[in-house]
């Protein structure tokens, strides 16, 4: 541990990684709470996988077609937003089976990404870092972008928490009270998409869903309101990302995977403890 602290003092990339974990935790705890109580984790997972399509396309444009400004991160944002709008419109308008569409977006997005990356030289390292994350590669620019995303999400929640809470708790009642349910559902999906992109840079496409839901699942055992759930989730994801980073440093383990395993272990312990506590009380 002291080795990690020493290294953090010495290397800016580690400090950036720690800052990235803090910034991602804010969005993660807030949006993750809505995602869990509205039961759309499957949608968030679909978005995060679909992001590969955007990243691959952007990478291809940048490296092969020489469009220098076309960063993979922008491609990720575009793909996630597109997925959010398609899923939102399908579930609100078309009578298509929603889960089929969500699954299709999930797989087709990945397939598109794989095709583009195959046509881009030097793809293996990139593909691995997209899939499993590389928090140590976070640059200063990216931190600014993450901060801006956080600010946007916090603003949305401060303005519209009551509406979002209402559509999560009882959509039909909210509609009757004149809340524009469709618009707020789309707002929730768009916020989810942006949060997913943020988290992809930390833990990678495959593990986003765990970082989005595990802190909330732990918080759910203690929280008495959505605000508490959000606060506790933010705190927990700060702990998970920071501790995961520190634990992975000395043995040189992948940081993203360490973070997720840590979060999963804490969730398991809390869930088992909670169940056995209730079992004891019932006796």
Nearer to another protein, 15 or 175 (CB): 175
What is the C-alpha separation between 28 and 106, in angstroms, rounded? 20
| Number of amino acids touching another protein (CB under 8 A) | 28
Closest-CA residue to 12 (of 158, 137, 103, 128): 137
Cβ proximity to another protein, 28 vs 112, nearer residue: 28
Indicate the helix (H) or strand (E) that contains 143: helix 140-169
Scan residues 223-262 and list those touching another protein (CB under 8 A). 223-226, 228-229
Candidate residues 220, 244, 254, 256; the one interacting with another protein per rule CB under 8 A: 220
Nearest approach, Cβ of residue 24 and another protein (Å): 23
Question: Residues 130, 160, 249, 267: which binds another protein (CB under 8 A)?
Answer: 160
Window 172-211: residues binding another protein (CB under 8 A): 172-179
Binding of another protein at residue 125 (CB under 8 A)? no
Cα distances (Å, whole numbers) of residue 89 to 76, 92, 95, 98, 143:
20, 5, 10, 10, 32
CA 212 to CA 233: how far, in whole Å? Answer: 9
Considering beta carbons, is residue 121 or 279 the nearer one to another protein?
279
In the complex, minimum distance from the CB of residue 208 to another protein, in angstroms, rounded to a whole number? 23
Distance of closest approach, residue 199 Cβ to another protein, in angstroms: 22
> CA–CA separation, 243 vs 71, rounded Å?
29
* Interface residue list for another protein (CB under 8 A): 37, 39, 158-163, 165-166, 168-170, 172-179, 220, 223-226, 228-229
């Amino acid at each position: 541990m002291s080795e990690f602290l020493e290294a953090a003092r010495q290397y800016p990339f580690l400090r950036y990684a720690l800052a990235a974990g803090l910034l991602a935790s804010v969005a993660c705890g807030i949006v993750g709470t809505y995602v869990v109580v509205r039961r759309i984790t499957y949608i968030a997972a679909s978005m995060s996988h679909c992001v590969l399509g955007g990243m691959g396309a952007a990478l291809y444009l940048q490296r092969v077609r020489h469009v220098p400004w076309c960063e993979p991160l922008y491609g990720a944002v575009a793909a996630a937003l597109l997925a959010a709008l398609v899923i939102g419109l399908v579930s609100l308008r078309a009578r298509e089976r929603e889960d089929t569409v969500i699954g299709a977006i999930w797989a087709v997005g990945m397939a598109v990404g794989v095709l583009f990356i195959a046509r881009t030289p030097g793809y293996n390292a990139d593909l691995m870092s997209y899939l499993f994350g590389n928090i140590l590669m976070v640059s200063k620019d990216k931190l600014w972008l993450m901060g801006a995303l956080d600010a946007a999400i916090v603003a949305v929640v401060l303005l519209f928490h009551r509406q979002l809470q209402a559509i999560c708790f009882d959509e039909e009642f909210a509609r009757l009270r004149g809340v524009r349910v469709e618009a707020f559902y789309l707002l929730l999906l768009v916020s989810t998409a942006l949060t997913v992109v943020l988290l992809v840079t930390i833990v990678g496409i495959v593990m986003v869903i765990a970082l989005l839901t595990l802190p909330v699942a732990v918080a759910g055992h203690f929280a008495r309101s959505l605000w508490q759930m959000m606060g506790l989730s933010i705190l927990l994801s700060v702990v998970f990302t920071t501790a995961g980073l520190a634990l992975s440093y000395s043995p040189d383990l992948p940081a993203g995977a360490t973070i997720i395993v840590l979060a999963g272990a804490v969730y398991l312990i809390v869930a088992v403890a909670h169940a056995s506590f209730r079992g004891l009380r019932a006796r």
